[in-house]
A and B are shown apart, each in its own frame.
Chain A
């Protein structure tokens, strides 16, 4: 069965056609032979019965008149039919009256006639027929016929069937081996092309279509598939080539970037190194500078007292100048130290709840003298219900003082106002500290420089008004550390408003995390040369200046 399944389609088709025709023919022959086997004995019986009837008809008178010879004559004519091997006419009382024998002996005759009918016995047909005359049974005819001819016929049929089968099988074989090509050729063609395609991966091959039947459709679809595969394979190749090219490019780029990265890393390390050394240098320098400065300030104060008691009136103003310069220098150094700490990321905030009233009182006591000095009026107020704020008290006071001192400095005979209020923005609650003055204002083109270290609006301003130029920069950094910012609006000649905005429930640590300070600090010009400015840092100084 497996062998049959693995046969080629050509052989299968031949086998199917031949087998089918053989089976059909065999069935037809079998039906014909079966029909013969039924019909022939019936016909033979019928014929024998007619012969018996004729004999019976001819035997009535001889039987009636005991004329044996006449019946013998009648029976003798049976010689014309060699298949009848024996015949006998019995009298009414069952004795043989006349006998006909051909190749049989008298002993083979039935001793007594049987009842009417025909039966088969050992390849012979036996027939009994009563002789009836005028309603009276006067005897019986017996006939025995061999069936050799029937068996001979059947044998002949068998040979004919065999011959026909062989001949037709041969014909079917020859015919089918020619006809099968109609189906097997296209299939083989298809298989060949498919095999070649898979062997050499040549997708440009095509199956030739020969007919418009299912095989033709198959060939068409197969060709379409090949065409699609061809297109995709070409696209794939192109894509692969492009990809390879890209990979090469990418590798080159990666290598370039790696070298750049290394350079950058080196540069960064160098920059960090230099930044660290700068901060360390500044911290050290500030510390080293403060010790001799404190000595200068301390001794100049002592000399001032001595001059007062000794009566050296002339030297007192000079000594005072030495002491003020010392103090200014100390303030400058402190600012630089703060800035360098911020830039080095070494500032730590201590956030706590501080009553707004305390802050406002403090502002009045520290900025009040400054306001009075320039003939200004200091107004302080807060929104109702604003109790506490969460800030680092020292740093916040420093910021507020810086803004107030600036306002007082750049305003003459005007008003400086400090207001504290709640504000809502970006879904958060803020506390706003607004410092408004009626001073000289800031030109628009200078606004962006305000919060840079060491940049007052111009150099002449520094000479006229004093200050280190570091205050706003430091304040801005502190507010940013606390999660807020300082903004400014100004109109030259009319005044300025500086606003500190801090988160209402801000958490210092969190704010510091979110603060973009590191970048701001690193982006700030770190190596700017400090300018020599005069700064009004204390009440004493104000008195002195005034």
Chain B
């Protein structure tokens, strides 16, 4: 009988906790400054973590097949990235890091990272993968706007990211709400303009 009262309190607490899980305002969400850590170390960790909050269509990843993270052109992570992912897996798939030149055939990748060094090249790659189930990650505020799924942006030395939901939808990717809570959500620039 007396158990009711704490139960009510408990229920309230749970509701509040769930409420806190609602998407935060963009301004509030900011990754911690990590002065000790290099910007690309953070981005490398995030690249791996994105894979965990995104669901690929079943056809995109055969059972037992490796989960491939591709780095196109300039590689800011270096060989340490490979080492840090050596024993890790995504949803049971072992992770493989591949590096591509622009002319290479980049099919079979689940994640593609395009560094900020060459925006023109990025635009071209994005166009070729517009409807493929590939999570494209790039740098700069324009990346999501031009059709990339996730784009890193810097905010007062903190690494943050933008997510283009239209691009994700086109690629057939399902992005976790937990991830969306931490990101700035964008739409296609064309549609935005049209709307």
Q: Confirm or deny: A167 has a beta carbon within 8 angstroms of a beta carbon on chain B.
A: no
> Given A61, A68, A78, which contacts B53 in the complex, CB threshold below 8 Å?
A61
The CA-CA distance from A68 to B34 in the complex, in Å, is 12
Q: Confirm or deny: B18 has a beta carbon within 8 angstroms of a beta carbon on chain A.
A: yes
CB-based closest 5 A-B pairs: A61-B178, A77-B16, A64-B49, A54-B17, A74-B20
| B179–A61 CB distance below 8 A | yes
| B52–A47 CB distance below 8 A | no
With a cutoff of 8 Å between Cβ atoms, the chain B residues found around residue A306 in the complex are none
| A77–B181 CB distance below 8 A | no
The CA-CA distance from A81 to B3 in the complex, in Å, is 15
| B52–A80 CB distance below 8 A | no
Closest B residue, CB atoms, query A39: B3
Interface residues of B (CB under 8 A from A): 2-3, 6-7, 9-10, 12-14, 16-21, 24, 28-32, 34, 42, 45-46, 49, 52-53, 88, 90-91, 176, 178-179, 181-182
| B17–A65 CB distance below 8 A | no
> Given B9, B16, B32, which contacts A68 in the complex, CB threshold below 8 Å?
B32
| A66–B18 CB distance below 8 A | no
With a cutoff of 8 Å between Cβ atoms, the chain B residues found around residue A133 in the complex are 52
How many residues does chain A have at the interface if contact means C-beta atoms less than 8 Å apart?
A: 34
| B14–A51 CB distance below 8 A | yes
| A67–B178 CB distance below 8 A | no
Closest B residue, CB atoms, query A149: B6
The CA-CA distance from A43 to B30 in the complex, in Å, is 37
With a cutoff of 8 Å between Cβ atoms, the chain A residues found around residue B178 in the complex are 58, 60-61
With a cutoff of 8 Å between Cβ atoms, the chain A residues found around residue B29 in the complex are 67, 69-70
| B20–A67 CB distance below 8 A | no
**A–B Cβ pairs within 8 angstroms, 25 of them:** A40-B3, A43-B3, A43-B6, A44-B6, A47-B6, A50-B14, A55-B17, A58-B20, A60-B178, A61-B176, A61-B179, A61-B181, A64-B46, A64-B52, A64-B53, A65-B182, A67-B182, A68-B32, A73-B24, A77-B20, A80-B9, A80-B16, A81-B10, A133-B52, A153-B2
| B28–A69 CB distance below 8 A | yes
With a cutoff of 8 Å between Cβ atoms, the chain A residues found around residue B90 in the complex are 134
Closest A residue, CB atoms, query B33: A66
| A54–B18 CB distance below 8 A | yes
The CA-CA distance from A47 to B9 in the complex, in Å, is 10
The CA-CA distance from A68 to B49 in the complex, in Å, is 16
With a cutoff of 8 Å between Cβ atoms, the chain B residues found around residue A55 in the complex are 17
